[in-house]
């Protein structure tokens, strides 16, 4: 361009300067203002994002550590199986009084006499009720430890955990909190001796739901969410891509296809609870599929994600230049071959991005799951998609409604886990796009 | 084409799979969010105590929603137990019978106290039903006439109450707690303050007169909370003169943040509620389908475990959490009625 301008540029300098008001100052000012608005808008968004993240992280990071008490436990035969019936009666080992073993062990460390019943009760309250299952599993897995003394790491009760993390105000009068001065004293004593300490909390990732905050985890919810995402991916991606290819490449353009297009765009904006109602009516009441199963959740979320995937896929197909189709057809490829050999591979990054965004949306959805019975307390791992399970956002919602203080940090902890998954999925979308993207 | 074939196969497989897995081996429970924490404790302990049964699945969603699900019919696709924070009503029972759920067993598990509490920075509060009625009713009696509620501050209603503006966070109408609040506080206060008689004189229809007594003001002083008690707690932490309605169990778990009010000079506690001294309490229930007993593995054991003294007695995990145990004779009667298979 510059070469064309140069010859005429010299005489222009010779011409008398005419000052025309072309509003250059005004236009520059307008541009500066617009930039300032843009920056303000971004800052506004960032401030809220920052507030959300600080509130979640500052409340939730403590959930990844759990207070535990490590004590030598004497697996006394007197307590577990006083009449030596375990060889004949296998139930004996399952129903033995295991909490007593843990309580006695802690009492011994604290120097509390076993006949002081009120104090023993307070000692017992410092331990989680889940020690029963923990010790039972140890003994059932290896009955030979009966009669020996083993060092075992026991879960502290939720209230003790909250107090140790400083989440319970210990300055209020003793009667107004769930932990007594005596227990606080013991807590400090054990912390100094190193018996009581915070450890990394693997339980929050692997445990199922529990009414005891210290033993509650998102394990079942993670599996449920995984099954649902798998079902959404396996069903929504092929159906959505097939529908869009047909609509974009084969379908005639007439009123009927216009109507379909309007409907798909509308469906993408329908509140998700409507899909829940549909799922309840069709999958549970009509087809008789089991309640609370992740299969139904997956099917409902598939319906919800389909419009998003179809819209994204159609946009990606449209973005492939017509010259590619024309070239393929010109070389003798059939329409089918043109689409599957040339158009679809080029549209793939766009399709995958749309799918991952749709999946991320589905991962964070709770409302439709409420109606199909997935907002529930589920403690057992689901082995198939037909077993009852929950989902990550549901677990967050349920923990947010709990009364115990220790669930506050777990709610934020679960939000952090969910956010990490969403970040991973979105990073995946960006990487896929980078890898497959072509520019013309 | 491979993708298409694969998806079709997956669809067919998933449906066929669903048909094959008919026998349900897990108890399904739904209903009241007040009963939910108790049901969760029992379900979890049940799963640990009986390793041969799976831990029951407990859904929340409210007494009404749970009973509706419960009354959908008999069979493995329907739930086995509905938790309720109020007795099943006539129309629900009829709906049940119409859908084929003819034998319903009612189980009363204990009592729940409803407490009034404000932020812990407040002084002692003494509440009388008539004060709350005056503070919260849509229309109150002034000089013998019904007028729109003119009171702005708690102290306008009763000089012993704090000076701040009236703000109360009460459970929304979908909660069973609301009914108890209306019955034990509003209706009671309506009578005590003498408003009931004025209303009776003005409105002849008894039903409408009763509805007038429980009508809550809509000018923003009383706020319906449709969420859970955590929402009420958040509102109270933000508004220090606000009064909130909580369950006893929730209050006991958050005593360091809340200051409880006495009702008729009685401090709410497990003792005052079980003795009947504290006036605002209600029984909690669950309903069992008799047709499912013996069909769903563990259902009978679960119910028996739930009503055993180890779970609902005075020194049990549920009592620890905040349930007020029923008197010994009543617990025994509940156990006998269930064992005898008494239906409604």
Instruction: Give average pLDDT by consecutive 10-residue segment, chain B, 344 residues.
Output: 53 49 79 90 90 89 86 88 90 91 92 89 85 88 84 86 88 80 88 84 82 87 85 88 88 86 89 85 92 91 92 86 88 92 86
Q: Is residue B3 part of a domain?
A: no
Domain shared by B250 and B121, yes or no: yes
- Cα A440 to Cα A319, A321, A324, A335, A349: the distances in Å are 11, 8, 11, 22, 14
pLDDT tens by residue, B21-36: 456 889 999 988 889 9
Is the pLDDT at A324 greater than 60? The verdict is: yes
Helix (H, G, I), strand (E, B) or coil at A105: helix
Q: Is residue B87 part of a domain?
A: yes
Environment class of B42 (CB within 10 Å of its CB; exposed 0-12, middle 13-18, buried 19+): buried
Residues 361-380 of A with CB under 8 A from B: 370, 373, 375-380
Please give the Cα distance from A226 to A209 (Å, whole number): 16
- Cα B88 to Cα A25, B94, B173, B307, B337: the distances in Å are 76, 10, 16, 19, 17
**Residue B91: domain span:** 22-112+282-340
What is this structure's pTM? 0.83
Q: Which domains does chain A have, with CATH numbers?
A: 61-201 (no CATH), 219-436 (1.10.3720.10)
Q: Which pLDDT value is given to residue B244?
A: 92
Residue in the block written with tokens 């076993």: A114
- In 3D space, the residue among A214, A204, A167 whose CA is nearest the CA of residue A58 turns out to be A167
Helix (H, G, I), strand (E, B) or coil at B53: coil
Domain shared by B304 and B221, yes or no: no
Which of A291, A337, A351, A355 should be substituted to probe chain B, the one whose Cβ sees the most B Cβ atoms within 10 Å? A291
Is A168 in contact with B17 (Cβ distance < 8 A)? no
Residue in the block written with tokens 């577990």: A80
Q: Which pLDDT value is given to residue A50?
A: 96
Domain shared by B150 and B52, yes or no: no
Domain shared by B287 and B141, yes or no: no
Residues 22-51 of A with CB under 8 A from B: none
> Does residue A146 belong to the interface with chain B, where contact is any CB pair within 8 Å?
no
- At residue A402 the predicted structure's pLDDT band, cuts being 50, 70 and 90, is confident
Please give the Cα distance from B16 to B36 (Å, whole number): 34
Token pair listed for B38: 């108790």
- Among the listed ranges A87-91, A316-320, A404-408, B244-248, which one has the minimum average pLDDT value? A87-91
Which of B231, B251, B281 is the endpoint of a domain?
A: B281
The Cα of B55 is separated from the nearest Cα of chain A by a number of Å equal to 6
Long-range contacts of A241-248 (CB under 8 A, 24+ apart): A241/A309, A241/A313, A241/A344, A241/A351, A241/B3, A242/B3, A242/B4, A243/A306, A243/A310, A244/A309, A244/A310, A244/A313, A244/A314, A244/A317, A245/A313, A245/A317, A245/A339, A245/A344, A247/A310, A247/A314, A248/A313, A248/A314, A248/A317, A248/A318
Domain shared by B97 and B181, yes or no: no
Q: Is residue B12 part of a domain?
A: no
> What sign has the CA pseudo-torsion B12, B18, B22, B25?
positive
Please give the Cα distance from A117 to A229 (Å, whole number): 52
Environment class of B9 (CB within 10 Å of its CB; exposed 0-12, middle 13-18, buried 19+): exposed
Helix (H, G, I), strand (E, B) or coil at A24: helix
Q: Is residue B246 part of a domain?
A: yes
Count of pairs with CB atoms under 8 A, one residue in A, one in B: 128
The Cα of B91 is separated from the nearest Cα of chain A by a number of Å equal to 22
Helix (H, G, I), strand (E, B) or coil at A267: helix
Please give the Cα distance from A281 to A8 (Å, whole number): 77
Contact criterion met (CB below 8 Å) for A71 and A189: no
Mean confidence (pLDDT) of chain B: 85
Q: Is residue B10 part of a domain?
A: no
From B55, B58, B249, residue closest to A380, measured CB to CB = B55
Domain shared by B121 and B185, yes or no: yes
Which of B26, B54, B57 should be substituted to probe chain A, the one whose Cβ sees the most A Cβ atoms within 10 Å? B57
Q: Is residue B249 part of a domain?
A: yes
Domain shared by B135 and B263, yes or no: yes
Domain shared by B38 and B158, yes or no: no
From B39, B72, B255, residue closest to A177, measured CB to CB = B255
Question: Chain A residues with CB inside 8 Å of B233's CB?
Answer: none
Which of B112, B256, B297 should be substituted to probe chain A, the one whose Cβ sees the most A Cβ atoms within 10 Å? B256
Start-to-end C-alpha separation, chain B: 59
Which of B230, B255, B281 is the endpoint of a domain?
A: B281
Which of B240, B263, B281 is the endpoint of a domain?
A: B281
- In 3D space, the residue among A342, A374, A360, A329 whose CA is nearest the CA of residue A423 turns out to be A360
Q: Could you tell me which residues come within 8 angstroms of residue A31 by beta carbon, excluding any fewer than 6 positions away?
A: none
Nearest residue of chain B to residue A293 (CA atoms): B18
% of chain A at pLDDT higher than 70: 95
Token pair listed for A179: 């932990």
> Does residue A303 belong to the interface with chain B, where contact is any CB pair within 8 Å?
no
- Among the listed ranges A28-32, A288-292, B335-339, which one has the minimum average pLDDT value? A288-292
Q: Is residue B9 part of a domain?
A: no
The domain that holds B135 is classified in CATH as: 3.40.190.10
Domain shared by B219 and B265, yes or no: yes
In chain B, the number of structural domains is 2
Domain shared by B222 and B169, yes or no: yes
Domain shared by B178 and B143, yes or no: yes
- Is the ipTM of this structure higher than 0.90? no
From A234, A289, A370, residue closest to B7, measured CB to CB = A234
CA B332 to chain centre: 23
Q: Is residue B135 part of a domain?
A: yes
Domain shared by B144 and B66, yes or no: no
């Amino acid at each position: 361009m510059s070469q064309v301008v140069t010859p005429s540029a010299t005489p222009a300098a010779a011409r008398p300067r005419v000052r025309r008001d072309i509003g250059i100052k005004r236009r520059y000012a307008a541009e500066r203002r617009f930039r300032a608005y843009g920056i303000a808008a971004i800052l506004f968004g960032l401030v809220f994002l920052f507030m959300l993240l600080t509130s979640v992280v500052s409340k939730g990071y403590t959930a990844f550590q759990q207070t535990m008490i490590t004590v030598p436990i004497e697996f006394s035969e007197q307590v577990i199986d006083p009449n030596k019936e375990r060889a004949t009666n296998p139930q004996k080992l399952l129903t033995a009084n295991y909490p007593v073993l843990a309580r006695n062990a802690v009492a011994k460390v604290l120097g509390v006499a076993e006949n002081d019943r009120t104090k023993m009760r307070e000692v017992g309250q410092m331990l989680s009720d889940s020690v029963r299952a923990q010790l039972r599993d140890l003994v059932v897995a290896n009955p030979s430890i009966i009669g020996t003394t083993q060092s075992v790491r026991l879960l502290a009760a939720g209230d003790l955990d909250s107090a140790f993390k400083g989440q319970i105000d210990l300055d209020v009068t003793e009667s107004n909190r769930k932990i007594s001065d005596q227990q606080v004293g013991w807590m400090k004593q054990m912390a100094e001796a190193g018996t009581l300490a915070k450890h990394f909390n693997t339980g929050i990732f692997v445990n199922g739901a529990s009414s005891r905050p210290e033993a509650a985890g998102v394990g079942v919810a993670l599996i449920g969410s995984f099954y649902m995402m798998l079902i959404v991916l396996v069903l929504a991606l092929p159906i959505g891509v097939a529908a869009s290819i047909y609509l974009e490449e084969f379908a005639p353009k007439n009123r009927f296809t216009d109507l379909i297009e309007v409907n798909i765009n509308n469906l993408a904006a329908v509140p998700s609870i409507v899909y829940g109602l549909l799922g309840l009516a069709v999958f549970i009441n009509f087809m008789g599929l089991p309640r609370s199963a992740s299969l139904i959740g997956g099917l409902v979320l598939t319906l919800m994600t389909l419009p998003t995937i179809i819209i994204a896929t159609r946009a990606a197909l449209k973005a492939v230049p017509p010259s590619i189709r024309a070239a393929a057809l010109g070389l003798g490829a059939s329409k089918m071959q043109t689409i599957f050999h040339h158009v679809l591979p080029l549209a793939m990054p766009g399709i995958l991005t749309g799918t991952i965004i749709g999946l991320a949306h589905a991962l964070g959805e709770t409302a439709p799951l409420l109606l199909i019975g997935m907002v529930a307390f589920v403690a057992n791992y689901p082995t198939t998609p037909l077993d009852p399970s929950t989902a990550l956002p549901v677990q967050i919602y349920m923990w947010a409604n709990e009364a115990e203080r220790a669930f506050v940090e777990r709610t934020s902890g679960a939000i952090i886990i969910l956010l990490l998954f969403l970040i991973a999925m979105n990073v995946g979308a960006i990487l896929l796009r980078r890898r497959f993207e072509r520019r013309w | 084409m491979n993708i298409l074939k694969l998806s079709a196969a997956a669809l067919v497989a998933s449906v066929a799979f669903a048909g094959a897995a008919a026998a349900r081996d897990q108890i399904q429970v739904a209903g009241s969010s007040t009963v939910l924490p108790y049901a969760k404790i029992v379900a979890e302990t049940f799963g640990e105590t009986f390793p041969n049964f799976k831990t029951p699945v407990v859904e929340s969603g409210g007494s009404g929603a749970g009973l509706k699900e419960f009354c959908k019919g008999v069979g493995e696709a329907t739930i086995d137990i509905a938790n309720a924070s109020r007795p099943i009503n006539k129309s629900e029972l009829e709906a049940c019978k119409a859908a084929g759920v003819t034998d319903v067993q009612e189980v009363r598990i204990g009592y729940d106290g409803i407490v009034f509490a404000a932020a812990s920075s407040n002084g002692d509060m003494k509440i009388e039903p008539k004060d709350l009625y005056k503070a919260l009713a849509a229309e109150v009696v002034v000089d013998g006439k019904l007028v729109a509620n003119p009171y702005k501050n708690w102290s306008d209603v009763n000089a012993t109450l704090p000076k701040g503006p009236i703000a109360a966070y009460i459970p929304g109408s979908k909660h069973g707690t609301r009914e108890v609040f209306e019955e034990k506080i509003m209706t009671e206060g309506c009578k005590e303050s003498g408003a009931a008689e004025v209303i009776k004189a003005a409105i002849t229809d008894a039903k409408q007169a009763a509805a007038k007594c429980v009508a809550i003001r809509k000018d923003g002083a009383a706020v319906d909370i449709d969420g859970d008690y955590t929402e009420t707690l958040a509102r109270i932490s933000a508004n220090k003169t606000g009064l909130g309605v909580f369950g006893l169990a929730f209050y006991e778990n958050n005593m360091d943040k809340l200051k409880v009010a006495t009702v008729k000079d009685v401090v709410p506690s497990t003792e005052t509620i079980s003795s009947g001294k504290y006036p605002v309490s209600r029984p909690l229930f669950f309903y069992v389908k008799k047709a499912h007993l013996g069909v769903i593995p563990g259902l009978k054991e679960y119910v028996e475990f739930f009503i055993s003294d180890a779970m609902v007695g005075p020194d049990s995990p549920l009592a620890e959490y905040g349930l007020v145990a029923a008197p010994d004779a009543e617990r025994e009667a509940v156990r006998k009625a269930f064992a005898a298979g008494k239906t409604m």
